[in-house]
Chain A
Amino acid sequence: MKNKMTGAEMILHALKKENVGAVFGYPGGAVLDIFDKLYGTDIQFYLTRHEQGAVHAADGYARASGQVGVCLATSGPGATNLVTGLATAHMDSVPIVAITGQVHTHLIGNDAFQEADVVGITRPVTKHNYLVKSVHELPIILKSAFYIARSGRPGPVVVDVPKDIQQQICPESYPDKVEIRSYKPTVKGHPQQIKKAAQMIAAANRPVIYAGGGVVASGASAELRELADTADIPVTTTLMGLGVYPETEAKALKMLGMHGTAYANYAVQECDLLIAIGARFDDRVTGKLDKFASKAKIIHIDIDPTSIQKNVKVDLPVVGDVKLVLAEINKVIEKKQNTDWIQTILTWKKEHPLQYNGGSSISPQYVIEQVEKVANRETIITTEVGQNQMWAAQFYKYTKPRTFLSSGGLGTMGYGFPAAIGAQVAHPDKLVVDIAGDGSIQMNIQELATAVLYHIPVKIIILNNQSLGMVRQWQGIFYDRRFSSSCLRRNINCPPHCDGSGDMCPKEYVPNFVKLAEAYGAAGYFADKTEEVTPTLEKAFNTPGPVIVEFKISEEENVYPMVPAGAPIDKMIKGMA
């Protein structure tokens, strides 16, 4: 290994050493040196059209592959454009290393051109961040950044590198490993706690597993399955946990919480033991806290001690890597059957299935069901945020982890498409589909250029209700149909009051998504009849290259069941009468 690298070369060297398969980014003054060293190398670099696209793509890459996603942006506006993506990754515990350029060391603090206090701005939205102050510490910081991003509870790490440091000679070599005295994530569960957990599982009559994104992060699907099968436990997952347990199984309850299935919510409310695994009792999951699983003892297994006892008092905390803890529990657990309980669950599943009323226009739920039919078990679904996201979670059966990528914690519109690009880069041979709303897709539509030029054949399915559907849904239910700025046809001539009906409603809708796709050199298809859905999907999935498929749906379509915010989760609105 050559020892006289510049800082910029050291950064690229670190990427190689860390087996980084792809970098997403955007150039600018403060990273010119890094881009100069990239020139002509074999590092797979993807030039996005916006830094937010780059960070979401790195996120999608990370979620789909389990590897650290990497993005690169210039100082000032380049770095601030990353913030939403960092916060998205932080909330969902996604490992990312973001490298940002910074102004010259001697200019820092002087309001220099394109200077921003990136470490200050990103502190609350990252797991950790660094401002490199000397080229000597660059290698150890880069090594630490990758280690911190992927270990423990994963998360994004920013490394802010001043321009002069990129140019200086770095005498130190890249370390093989790093010890951080102040960072020692607990990975093994305490044997005593594991023993108690096994006893509680043995004693329970009506157990439920509530599995979250931590199961995905630790790669513990097999262990989870073994536990559920051995001890006969139904499994519900959070949005982040979809796919960790095959939803095709009889004991699968699908998602719980605000838009969860009725049977998952009933099961949680009636269970006598709730086993929370890699989940964090988010308010969208628990509804009214003191009514949540109030008949149950709670075991909580999580690698992050701060998640435990944060929202809900638990009876047995087990801190550790979910995979290792479950493996230990599985060693001591005995085969068991909860026949009556499972029977109750199956009855609930039969009596309260997810359902929808087919109307004259295309039902979005039907579209999702057909996507599942035309796709395959390896297909990766990403989503935007809103109704599209919830329908995609509800009406598709996920059977594998890392096949459903969605911004759960932050709920970032504009996430799904660039994340799909990242996922496709990680898995060139898989079908990657972004389920989108017409609002969200416009937040990062510029990445169509990236997809077209790099031959990233992502399929975008826009459920076009011509509105910000989820906002409209809340306004319809809780705000007396006062549709304030949730209509995407709203124009200069609209009256200030609008209840979403009437002949006054403008017909004009922009953009024309089919033409927009074509303008970028992608394919665009449109359908507004139910019988066209499947053929259109087949055509789209068989088209090489990126495709936009637009399905026109009714703006009146809502997501049900729905637990009003702050209500107990078994008090659902099941649908419009």
Chain B
Amino acid sequence: MRHIINLEVENHSGVLARIAGLFSARGFNIESLSVAHAEKEDVSRMTLAVRGDDAIIEQINKQLNKLIDVIRVIDITANYYVDRELVLVRVNCPPNKRGDIQQVNEIFGAKVVDISNKSMTMEMVGSEAKVDAFMETMRPFGIQEVARTGPIAMLREFKKKY
């Protein structure tokens, strides 16, 4: 099963290499990883999307915890959380298709960020499922290029199922 793990790590150089090294050395599958400064200067937050059975996920959590530079490991999968991905997608778009594509964009709340006589490029933010749905809907137009971040995620404060 796929798990989303949030990490707070020391904001040193080399921490990313430690995490990446751990995954490659132990043969763990990592689907995506995003890193940026957190609210504190000296702390970075990473969101990892990983896949594995329960035993592997348990090892991943423990091994991450064991790294000296890792401050906190929270596997948020079992909790209520919000997750978002950003996707940039360029699709074939002759002028006569602009209206059709714009319709889809409106439904998904996507924004046009670039346009030419042959293509249109959108940015779209949403949960993984929503991004997937958006991509599926764009597919018939002919996707030229995609850049996708993978999820970043945060626990909800208000712990109720949505």
> Which residues from chain A sit less than 8 Å from chain B, CB to CB?
119-120, 123-124, 127-128, 131, 148, 180-183, 304-306, 309-310, 313
Contacts and interface: CB of A to CB of B under 8 A. Distances in A.
A310 B59 contact: yes
A131 B69 CA distance: 14
Nearest to B55: A309
The 8 closest A-B pairs by CB, nearest first: A182-B71, A306-B62, A128-B68, A305-B62, A183-B68, A124-B25, A306-B63, A306-B66
A251 B157 CA distance: 56
Contacts of B71: 181-182
B109 interface: no
Contacts of A120: 17
Contacts of A127: 68
Contacts of B17: 120, 123
Interface in B44-92: 55, 58-59, 62-63, 65-66, 68-71
A161 to B, nearest CB: 16
B65 to A, nearest CB: 7
Given A305-B65, A306-B59, A310-B59, A124 B21 contact: yes
Contact of A131 (B14, B21, B66): B14
A181 B70 CA distance: 9
Nearest to A148: B68
A576 B71 CA distance: 55
A123 B68 contact: no
B13 to A, nearest CB: 8
Interface in B1-41: 9-10, 14, 17-18, 21, 25
Contacts of A182: 9-10, 68-71
Given A123-B21, A306-B63, A180 B55 contact: no
A124 to B, nearest CB: 5
A337 to B, nearest CB: 37
Contact of A304 (B14, B66, B69): B66
Interface of B: 9-10, 14, 17-18, 21, 25, 55, 58-59, 62-63, 65-66, 68-71
Nearest to A128: B68
Contacts of B18: 123
A120 B21 CA distance: 10
Contacts of A180: 68
A313 B59 CA distance: 12
B154 to A, nearest CB: 20
Interface hub of B14, B63, B70 (most chain A Cβ within 10 A)? B14
Nearest to B15: A182
Contacts of B58: 309
15 contacts: A119-B14, A123-B18, A123-B21, A124-B25, A127-B68, A148-B68, A180-B68, A182-B10, A182-B70, A182-B71, A305-B65, A305-B66, A306-B62, A309-B58, A310-B59
A181 B25 CA distance: 25
A304 B17 CA distance: 22
A510 to B, nearest CB: 39
B144 to A, nearest CB: 37
Contacts of A131: 14
Nearest to A123: B21
Contacts of B66: 304-306
A289 to B, nearest CB: 12
Contacts of A119: 14
A57 B70 CA distance: 31
Interface hub of A119, A304, A305 (most chain B Cβ within 10 A)? A305
Contacts of A183: 68
A313 B53 CA distance: 14
A131 B58 CA distance: 31
A113 B97 CA distance: 60
A409 to B, nearest CB: 15
B138 to A, nearest CB: 41
Nearest to A313: B55
A127 B63 CA distance: 12
Given A182-B10, A305-B66, A306-B62, 5 more contacts: A120-B17, A128-B68, A148-B68, A305-B62, A309-B58
Contacts of A306: 59, 62-63, 66
A106 to B, nearest CB: 16
Nearest to B18: A123
A306 B61 CA distance: 9
A114 to B, nearest CB: 21
A254 B47 CA distance: 47
Nearest to A183: B68
Interface hub of B17, B55, B62, B63 (most chain A Cβ within 10 A)? B62
A309 B60 CA distance: 12
A127 B18 CA distance: 11
A83 to B, nearest CB: 15
A128 B63 CA distance: 13
A484 B36 CA distance: 54
